[in-house]
C-alpha cells in the first residue's frame, strides 16, 4: 500500500466546508469531506493524481453516453465501415519532497484507463474517448464528423480545444506522450488547468497540401466555454440540462514544411467567455465573468534523434467585477527537449515558466497553478506498446491562494496501448 | 574424422547455394487484377501507407500491411515509409487517437492475399517477388526492393 502523509487538515465538520461547497457536494451525492479541497500540491496532473473524489461519481447522462458508445462498438459491422478500439492503460507512482517544508511529503499511486472508439464510413465518422481512473470516470470526447472535402472534417459534439498543441497531439493517450506530466499550460480543467480544454460545439479540421509538398493545417472551433466554479474550471458535460456557459472560440493554424513529416510550426488564438459561479460567501470583489483572449505560438520540431516541442501563449483577461473591470495579462510557456538515444531509450527534459504569472489576478482565482517547473526524465520502451518512464522535477506554485511553494517530485509510470 | 569434415563441407556448400538463391530476392507491390492501377509513384505509395487518402488513376487506394515476416516488414519500413518501426507505429496510433482514422488492414498469412485484393476498390500490398509470381488474380505494379 502506498504511504500517504498529508499535512494536517481540520477534522470534519470543519469551518472550511463552506455552505456552498456543502450544497455542491450534496448535489453531487458526496459528503462534505469528499468535496473538501486537499493541499494544492495534491492536484492531479500538477503534482499528484488522486484527489478528485467528487469526480468519482459517474452521472446518469455519462452512463447513457457511454452506453451509446458501447452499443455502437458491439454493433455488427456493415459494409464500408471501419471500427477502431484503442486502450491506453497507465499506472503512476509519485513521491514529493522538500527540505525546507517537511510537510510537503506525499506518496501515492494511481491507475487509469483511456478508452478510444471510432467508427468511420465513407464520409461519416464518430469518435468517443472515455477515461476511467482511480479518481474519475468521464467522457472526454464525444464527437461526430462529416467529411466535406478530401482533407476537411466538420465535427459536432464535445472535443478538445484546438488552440492547445500538446492536447491536440496527445489527448488522453498517455502512452503516446513521452513524459508523464503535462505542462501546466496544457493541463486539463479538472486537474487545475487555467484555460479551457474541453469545448462543446462545432469544430472544423482541415489540412491543405501545397504544390511544394508542404501543408497548411487549420483547426477552428466555436462552442461553449467552461465556467469557473469553486476555483476550478468546469467544462460543459454531455447532455447537461442547464448552461451558464459562455462562448469559446479557438483557432490553430499550422505549417508543415514536409507534408509527411511530423515537424510543424504555427499560431494559436482564442477567445473565451468564462462565467463565474457565485459562491454565497464570495468576496465582494469576485468577478462575475472573465473575458479571456489568448494568442500564442508553437513548434514541434524533429531533427535526427532530437525533438523539441514548445509553446508560448499570451493571455489577456478582463475580469468583470461588480463595480469595475480589471485587466490582467501574463505569458505562460514551455519547451520540452527529447533525445532518442536508441530504439528503446528516450531522454527528455522540460522547462516551464512565464512572465507576470505570479501577479495574475485571474490565476489567483484558482486553487493552485504551477508557475515554474524544471523536469528531467527517461523513458524505456520495454516492449512493443509498453513503456516505463521516470521523471524528477523541481516545481513551484506561484499565483495561488495557498501561497508560493517550491518542492521536488519524483514519478514512475508504466503506460501501454492495446490496439 | 574424414566423415566429419565431409559433413561440414556439405553444410558450407548448402549455405553458399542458399546465399546465391537469396541474392535474387525482390519485394514487389501488388494489387488485384480487377484494379486498373498500373503504376504508382514512390511518394503516393508512401502517403497511402502513412494514412493519407490517395487516389491514383481515379481509384482510391486501400493499403494492406503484411505481418508475420520480420525481414519483409523491415524492408517495408525502410523502402516504403522510410521510418523506423517505432515511429511508424506511433504515427498510426496517433492518427487514430487524434482523428479516429482507421488503421490499415493487416494480413498475417500470405495465402490470404488474393482474397484480400479481390474486394472492391484498389487494395495494395507488398510481397516477396517469388510469392507474387505464384499467385492467381494478383498483378505486380512496382518493384520496391531488390537484393543487391
**Does residue A295 belong to the interface with chain B, where contact is any CB pair within 8 Å?**
no
Total domain count, chain B: 1
pLDDT score recorded for residue A352: 96
Across the range A266-272, mean pLDDT stands at: 98
pLDDT score recorded for residue A30: 39
Average pLDDT of every residue of chain B: 85
- Judged by CB atoms closer than 8 Å, whether chains meet at B99 and A170 is answered as no
Cα separation, A401 vs A246, in Å, equals: 25
A46 is written with which cell numbers? Answer: 500538477
pLDDT score recorded for residue A401: 57
Tell me the shortest Cα–Cα distance from B42 to chain A, in angstroms: 13
Checking phi first, is residue A19 left (phi over 0); if not, alpha (psi -120 to 50) or beta? alpha
CA distances from A150 to A213, A216, B35, B37, B53 (A): 16, 14, 21, 20, 7
Cα separation, B125 vs B12, in Å, equals: 36
Residue B16 scores a pLDDT above 60 = no
Phi then psi for residue A74, to 5 deg, are -95, -5
Give Cα A81 distance to the centre of its chain.
31
- Give residue-wise pLDDT tens across range B85-122: 999 999 999 999 999 999 999 999 999 999 999 876 79
Cα separation, B26 vs A116, in Å, equals: 39
User: Is the Cβ–Cβ distance between A118 and B102 less than 8 Å?
Assistant: yes
Whole-prediction pTM: 0.82
Residue A280 scores a pLDDT above 80 = no
β-strand A82-97 against A106-120: which pairing, if any? Answer: antiparallel
- Judged by CB atoms closer than 8 Å, whether chains meet at B98 and A120 is answered as no
pLDDT score recorded for residue A190: 87
pLDDT over 70, % of chain A: 79
pLDDT score recorded for residue A353: 94
- Judged by CB atoms closer than 8 Å, whether chains meet at A86 and B91 is answered as no
- Give residue-wise pLDDT tens across range A227-253: 999 889 999 887 776 678 999 999 999
Instruction: Find the helix or strand (DSSP H, E) in which B70 lies.
Output: helix B70-79
pLDDT score recorded for residue A405: 79
pLDDT over 70, % of chain B: 84
Is B128 among the domain residues? Answer: yes
Is B115 among the domain residues? Answer: yes
Neighboring chain A residues of B96 at a CB cutoff of 8 Å: 84, 86, 116, 118
**Does residue B100 belong to the interface with chain A, where contact is any CB pair within 8 Å?**
yes
Residue B19 scores a pLDDT above 80 = no
Candidates A119, A260, A419; nearest CB to B47:
A260
pLDDT score recorded for residue A55: 45
Candidates A125, A127, A176; nearest CB to B94:
A176
- Give residue-wise pLDDT tens across range A383-401: 999 999 999 999 988 766 5
**Does residue A207 belong to the interface with chain B, where contact is any CB pair within 8 Å?**
no
CA-nearest of A149, A90, A160, A263 to B91 is: A263
Is B15 among the domain residues? Answer: no
pLDDT score recorded for residue B10: 54
Cα separation, A69 vs A325, in Å, equals: 44
Neighboring chain A residues of B99 at a CB cutoff of 8 Å: 125, 127, 153, 205
Residues spanned by the domain of B117: 25-146
pLDDT score recorded for residue A112: 96
- Give residue-wise pLDDT tens across range A28-55: 443 333 333 344 444 444 444 334 434 4
pLDDT score recorded for residue A174: 96
User: Is the Cβ–Cβ distance between A238 and A215 less than 8 Å?
Assistant: no
| Largest distance between two CA atoms of chain A | 68
- Judged by CB atoms closer than 8 Å, whether chains meet at B96 and A169 is answered as no
Q: Exposure of A200 by Cβ count < 10 A (0-12 exposed, 13-18 middle, 19+ buried)?
A: buried
Is B6 among the domain residues? Answer: no
Is B56 among the domain residues? Answer: yes
pLDDT score recorded for residue A43: 42
Residue A56 scores a pLDDT above 50 = no
Domains of chain A: 19-416 (2.40.160.10)
Neighboring chain B residues of A176 at a CB cutoff of 8 Å: 90, 93-94, 97
To test the contact with chain B by mutation, choose from A77, A122, A204, A260 the residue with the greatest count of B C-beta atoms within 10 A, namely A260
CA-nearest of A336, A248, A335 to A294 is: A248
Is B11 among the domain residues? Answer: no
Among the ranges given (A15-19, A259-263, A370-374, B101-105), the one the predictor scored with the smallest mean pLDDT: A15-19
Cα separation, B35 vs B111, in Å, equals: 19
Is B17 among the domain residues? Answer: no
Is B52 among the domain residues? Answer: yes
Candidates B47, B50, B97; nearest CB to A86:
B97
pLDDT score recorded for residue A65: 58
CATH number at residue B59: 3.40.190.10
**ipTM of this complex > 0.85?**
no
Residue A305 scores a pLDDT above 90 = yes
Average pLDDT of every residue of chain A: 83
Q: Which residue has the higher pLDDT, A151 or A218?
A: A218
Cα separation, A379 vs A108, in Å, equals: 20
- Give residue-wise pLDDT tens across range A134-178: 888 999 999 999 999 878 999 999 999 999 999 999 999 999 999
For A257-398, where are the E strands, in sequence order?
Answer: 264-275, 289-303, 306-320, 325-340, 345-355, 370-383, 386-397
Among the ranges given (A63-77, B46-60, B84-98), the one the predictor scored with the smallest mean pLDDT: A63-77
**Interface subset of A 12-71, CB within 8 angstroms of B:** none
pLDDT score recorded for residue A318: 96
Amino acid at each position: 500500500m502506498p504511504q500517504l502523509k498529508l499535512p494536517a487538515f481540520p477534522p470534519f465538520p470543519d469551518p472550511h466546508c463552506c455552505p456552498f461547497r456543502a450544497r455542491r457536494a450534496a448535489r453531487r451525492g458526496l459528503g462534505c469531506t469528499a468535496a473538501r479541497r486537499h493541499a494544492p500540491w495534491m492536484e492531479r496532473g500538477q503534482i499528484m493524481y488522486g484527489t478528485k473524489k467528487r469526480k468519482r461519481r459517474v452521472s446518469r447522462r455519462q452512463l447513457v453516453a457511454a452506453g451509446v458508445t458501447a452499443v455502437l462498438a458491439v454493433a455488427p459491422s456493415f459494409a464500408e465501415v471501419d471500427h477502431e478500439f484503442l486502450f491506453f492503460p497507465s499506472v503512476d507512482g509519485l513521491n514529493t519532497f522538500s527540505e525546507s517544508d517537511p510537510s510537503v511529503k506525499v506518496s501515492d499511486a494511481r491507475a487509469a484507463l483511456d478508452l478510444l472508439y471510432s467508427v468511420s464510413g465513407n464520409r461519416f465518422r464518430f469518435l468517443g474517448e472515455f477515461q476511467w481512473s482511480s479518481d474519475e470516470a468521464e467522457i472526454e470526447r464525444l464527437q461526430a464528423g462529416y467529411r466535406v472535402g478530401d482533407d476537411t472534417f466538420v465535427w459536432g459534439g464535445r472535443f478538445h480545444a484546438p488552440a492547445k498543441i500538446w492536447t491536440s497531439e496527445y489527448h488522453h493517450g498517455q502512452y503516446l506522450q513521452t513524459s508523464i506530466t503535462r505542462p501546466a499550460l496544457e493541463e486539463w480543467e479538472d486537474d487545475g488547468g487555467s484555460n479551457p480544454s474541453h469545448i462543446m460545439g462545432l469544430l472544423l479540421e482541415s489540412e491543405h497540401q501545397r504544390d511544394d509538398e508542404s501543408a497548411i493545417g487549420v483547426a477552428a472551433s466555436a462552442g461553449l466555454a467552461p465556467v469557473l466554479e469553486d476555483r476550478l474550471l468546469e467544462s460543459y458535460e454531455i447532455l447537461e440540462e442547464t448552461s451558464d456557459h459562455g462562448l469559446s472560440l479557438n483557432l490553430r493554424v499550422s505549417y508543415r514544411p514536409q507534408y509527411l513529416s511530423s515537424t510543424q510550426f504555427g499560431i494559436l488564438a482564442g477567445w473565451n467567455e468564462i462565467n463565474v459561479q457565485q459562491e454565497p460567501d464570495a468576496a465582494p470583489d469576485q468577478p462575475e465573468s472573465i473575458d479571456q483572449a489568448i494568442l500564442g505560438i508553437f513548434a514541434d520540431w524533429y531533427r535526427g534523434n532530437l525533438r523539441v516541442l514548445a509553446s508560448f501563449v499570451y493571455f489577456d483577461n478582463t475580469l468583470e467585477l461588480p463595480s469595475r473591470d480589471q485587466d490582467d495579462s501574463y505569458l505562460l510557456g514551455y519547451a520540452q527537449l527529447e533525445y532518442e538515444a536508441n530504439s528503446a531509450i528516450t531522454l527528455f527534459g522540460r522547462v516551464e515558466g512565464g512572465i507576470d504569472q505570479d501577479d495574475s489576478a485571474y490565476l489567483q482565482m484558482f486553487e493552485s497553478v504551477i508557475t515554474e517547473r524544471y523536469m528531467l526524465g527517461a523513458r524505456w520502451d520495454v516492449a512493443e506498446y509498453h513503456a516505463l518512464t521516470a521523471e524528477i522535477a523541481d516545481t513551484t506554485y506561484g499565483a495561488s491562494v495557498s501561497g508560493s511553494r517550491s518542492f521536488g517530485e519524483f514519478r514512475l509510470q508504466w503506460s501501454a496501448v492495446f490496439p | 574424422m574424414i566423415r566429419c569434415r565431409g559433413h561440414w563441407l556439405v553444410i558450407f556448400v548448402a549455405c553458399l547455394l542458399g546465399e546465391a538463391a537469396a541474392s535474387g530476392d525482390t519485394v514487389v507491390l501488388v494489387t488485384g487484377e480487377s484494379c486498373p492501377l498500373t503504376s504508382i509513384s514512390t511518394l503516393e505509395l508512401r502517403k497511402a501507407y502513412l494514412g493519407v487518402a490517395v487516389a491514383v488513376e481515379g481509384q482510391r487506394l486501400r493499403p494492406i500491411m503484411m505481418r508475420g515476416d520480420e525481414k519483409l516488414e523491415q524492408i517495408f519500413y525502410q523502402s516504403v515509409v522510410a521510418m523506423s518501426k517505432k515511429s511508424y507505429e506511433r504515427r498510426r496510433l496517433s492518427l487514430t487517437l487524434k482523428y479516429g482514422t482507421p488503421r490499415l488492414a493487416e494480413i498475417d498469412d500470405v495465402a490470404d492475399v488474393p482474397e484480400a485484393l479481390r474486394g472492391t476498390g484498389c487494395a495494395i500490398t507488398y510481397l516477396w517477388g517469388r510469392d507474387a509470381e505464384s499467385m492467381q488474380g494478383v498483378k505486380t505494379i512496382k518493384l520496391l526492393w531488390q537484393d543487391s
